[in-house]
Amino acid sequence: GNAVGLVLRDGARENRVQDNRIGGNVGAGIVVEGATTLRNDLHDNTFLENGGLGIDLGGDGVSPNDADDVDEGPHGLLNAPVIEAVVHDGDEATIRGRAGSLQRVAVYRVGADADAGGGIGVGGGGGAYLLPHASGHGPGAALLIFVRADVEGVFETRVRVAPGAVITAVAVDGGGNTSEFARNWVSDPPAVLGPGFRAVAWLGPESSVAEATESIGERLLAVFRFDAGRQGWSIFRPGVPVLSDLETLQPGDALWVLTSPGPELLWEQPSLSASEGGAGLLAGLNFVRWGGDPVLMGVGLGPIAPALESAFRWLPGERRYEAVFPVIPGLAPAPLQRGELLWLRVSGGVEWPQPRTFVLPAVDPEGEVDPEVGPEPAPTPDPATEDALTRRDERR
């Protein structure tokens, strides 16, 4: 590919760059250089698989926003918009954020092709992994909608986009200057339950299990959380406190939830903010949620590789586990998605960092593992649920 897709410099002004697919470049998609290079409208393009930013003002990577946005530089170093919330409702979402007063905001989905359903994974004719840029800003793969901020700089819009899609945006001021891409907003997948066992995460604040699960209603049979300290399950049985030893849920808890027969239902939860964080792992098995941005599996597991003995992800559509560490020769696992739940076996206590921006090199672990063999003890609660719970009640 080219070093850079397009360079605007030396006072280039009032150009409109639109309807282009800008990708496959070693560096940025579009670089804007020089304080006299102004008023170029760059928003209406598709940006995919560039080594640098989709739009780079100054050619020096992400330009930080400043309080009054009075910088001098290419496009006046226009502040990027800030996405503050993405609230999903089925296959639509309400997107809220801030930009400059009365600026236009182009909202994008980060991902594969413009007609893709959302999310990040294997896309494109060559089967390449299409991930958010390592900076956490873009790339904007599909323009979803154009909206104008109010006089206070607040914008809100509703778009059709799949749950779990990664969202970004650029701002365009009244003179036509275009900003760099906003910090991406990455959402967890919706907590869809039933019938039977489903692996989901709790995304609300610290809460009693009874309060957290109230919206599930009468179909809730049990909630399971794996306790890495004692290498066993804690359980909540609604209405049966004497048989329950799980009382409180923490933000990001990985759970197995059992519901009675019937159609699928959505467990409505508060939204967990997309902040930096991590997960403390203990020696042995751990059932944990990935709260970082989408990233190649080897990069996400890299910081704990010295202590990591095995890792498995649950494939809900196939009702089976996939071994992701050690890597099966010739079979690279799909990227690690925000909100994904994994079983990790580690040799000792270790903190698993889960940042929203990655600069780590990929890890290429060696070794083989049987993809049909999962960690022991079996990480899924007994599927013969009613019989198992009945037998447990009788033993007590």
Tens of pLDDT along the chain (396 residues)? 678 999 999 999 999 999 999 998 999 999 999 999 999 999 999 998 899 999 999 999 999 999 888 889 999 999 999 998 888 777 888 999 999 999 999 999 986 543 343 433 322 222 333 567 878 899 898 999 999 999 999 999 999 988 778 899 999 999 999 999 999 988 777 788 989 999 999 988 899 999 999 999 999 999 999 999 999 999 999 999 888 999 999 989 999 999 999 999 989 887 655 455 688 999 999 999 998 877 889 889 999 999 999 999 988 778 888 999 988 777 778 888 888 899 999 999 999 998 765 433 333 333 333 333 333 434 454 444 444 444 444 444
Rounded Cα–Cα distance for residues 348 and 300 (Å): 18
Q: Which pLDDT belongs to residue 331? A: 74
Rounded Cα–Cα distance for residues 13 and 273 (Å): 39
Q: What are the beta bridge partners of residue 31?
A: 7, 56
Extract the tokens encoding 91.
């296959």
In DSSP notation, 340-377 reads -EEEEEESS-EEEE--SS--PPPP-------TT---SS
How long is the chain?
Answer: 396
Q: Which pLDDT belongs to residue 121? A: 37
Extract the tokens encoding 131.
């991930």
Q: Which pLDDT belongs to residue 204? A: 84
Contacts of 362 by beta carbon, 8 Å cutoff, 6+ apart: 296, 298, 299, 302
Measured CA to CA in angstroms, residue 336 lies from 131, 189, 190 at distances of 10, 13, 16
Rounded Cα–Cα distance for residues 202 and 155 (Å): 29
The conformation of residue 385, written as its DSSP 8-state character, comes to H
Contacts of 70 by beta carbon, 8 Å cutoff, 6+ apart: none
Question: 262 and 316 in contact (C-beta within 8 Å)?
Answer: no
In DSSP notation, 59-86 reads SSSPPPP-SS----SGGGGPPPPEEEEE
How many beta carbons lie within 10 A of that of residue 320, not counting itself? Answer: 12
Q: Which pLDDT belongs to residue 314? A: 84
Q: Which pLDDT belongs to residue 364? A: 32
Contacts of 43 by beta carbon, 8 Å cutoff, 6+ apart: 18, 104, 106, 143, 146, 170, 172, 178
Question: 179 and 79 in contact (C-beta within 8 Å)?
Answer: yes
Q: Does the model's pTM come out above 0.85?
A: no
Q: Which pLDDT belongs to residue 365? A: 31
Type and span of the H or E element at 301: helix 297-301
Q: Which residue is listed with tokens 């099966």?
A: 328
